[in-house]
Amino acid sequence: MSVFLLQRLGQAFVAIFGVMTLVFFIQRLTGDPTYLLVPETATQADIEAMRRSLGLDQPLVLQYVSYLWDMLRFDFGTSYVQNIPVTEIIASRLPYTLQLAAGALFVAFVVGLPVGLAMAIWRKHPVTNVLMGMVLGAQSLPTFWSGILMIMIFGVWLGWLPPSGSGSFAHLIMPSIALGLLSMATYARIARSSILDEMSKDYVRSARARGVGTGRLVGKHLIRNSLIPVISISALEISQLLAGAVIVETVFAWPGLGQLTVQSVQSRDFVVVQGIVLLGAFVTISVNLLADILYSVVDPRIRKGGRA
């Protein structure tokens, strides 16, 4: 177990270093923030002065070395645009991203898993066709459209929910649904196929033969055994959600990391983008690490050195 963990940690370190290097160079090769910061009437001298004050006049290699050195000391720098430390900016946005991710996951789990289960158990029942249609719909609706539609219906016409913004539980409802729909569909499909898969296995048949009722069978055996694929998907879904939901956050004016990412990329605020990408990499890697550990808890075969 500990060798396995150490290996994974080593891989994680290499991955983060790779991400750090990539994000540094990609940004600098695709544009210069100076031009966005100075007024149009700035002279060449003004532009040079601004570039000097941002440290962008240094050779790229020197910039890279000082960047790595700063990262090693956990100094993530100061935003070019807002002129405040990146850690402060990200820390102010992170709680919103966490709330939204939790809300979306809640929608996805609480709706997706039972729907998947129902579709597997009542495989030939007409209800399944209806549910299947709903899942397909949820999966196909682009969020910029479903989001605006919800805003129009519940925010403007019915006036039940605040159309956008943050600050209360009511504000969280629509963005969570908009964001959770896609994951919900994923969970429903994965749960369905995974349970169907299990249901065709021998142990299920013999359990039925022994007279175990459907409720007990599902609750005691099927769900647990079908969880492995659900956990793998969760690792992906959670890391995606935590990196911020760009479109949903923009549509609902939800002040999370996704919105910040778009703004920072557009304004070439390198330092902030670096911070967000590093955080995203860190989260993705940790969640995957966690998923690996979880597998071994759920499935002893993995813990005992079997194949994952």
- State the residues that interact with another protein by CB under 8 A: 30-33, 35-44, 46-47, 49-50, 53, 78, 81-85, 88-89, 92-93, 96, 148, 151-152, 155-156, 158-171, 250-253, 255-256, 259-260, 262-263, 266, 268
Extract the tokens encoding 142. Answer: 């682009």
Identity at 256, one-letter amino acid code: G
Q: From the centroid of its chain, how far is CA 61?
A: 32
Nearest CB to another protein, comparing residues 200 and 266: 266
Closest approach of another protein to the CB of residue 302, in Å: 41
Closest approach of another protein to the CB of residue 250, in Å: 5
Closest approach of another protein to the CB of residue 80, in Å: 10
> What is the phi/psi pair of residue 9, to 5°?
-65, -40
Extract the tokens encoding 103. Answer: 């809300």
Closest approach of another protein to the CB of residue 276, in Å: 13
Nearest CB to another protein, comparing residues 40 and 202: 40
Q: Give the other-Cβ count within 10 Å of 71's Cβ.
A: 18
Q: Which has the closest alpha carbon to 198: 224, 216, 232?
A: 224
Q: Which residues pair with 78 in a beta bridge?
A: 85
Q: What is the DSSP string of 61-119?
A: HHHHHHHHHHHHTT---B-TTT-SBHHHHHHHHHHHHHHHHHHHHHHHHHHHHHHHHHH
Closest approach of another protein to the CB of residue 287, in Å: 24
Nearest CB to another protein, comparing residues 76 and 295: 76
Nearest CB to another protein, comparing residues 157 and 211: 157
Nearest CB to another protein, comparing residues 167 and 300: 167
Closest approach of another protein to the CB of residue 254, in Å: 9
Distance (Å) of CA 55 to CA 66, 80, 83, 218: 10, 10, 14, 62
Distance in angstroms (rounded) separating the CA atoms of residues 61 and 63: 5
Q: From the centroid of its chain, how far is CA 80?
A: 26
| Residues 6+ positions from 52 with CB-CB distance below 8 Å | none
Closest approach of another protein to the CB of residue 18, in Å: 25
Distance in angstroms (rounded) separating the CA atoms of residues 291 and 269: 33
Closest approach of another protein to the CB of residue 239, in Å: 21
Nearest CB to another protein, comparing residues 35 and 203: 35
Nearest CB to another protein, comparing residues 82 and 128: 82
Nearest CB to another protein, comparing residues 31 and 229: 31
Distance in angstroms (rounded) separating the CA atoms of residues 103 and 97: 10
Q: Which residue has the tokens 């962008």?
A: 56
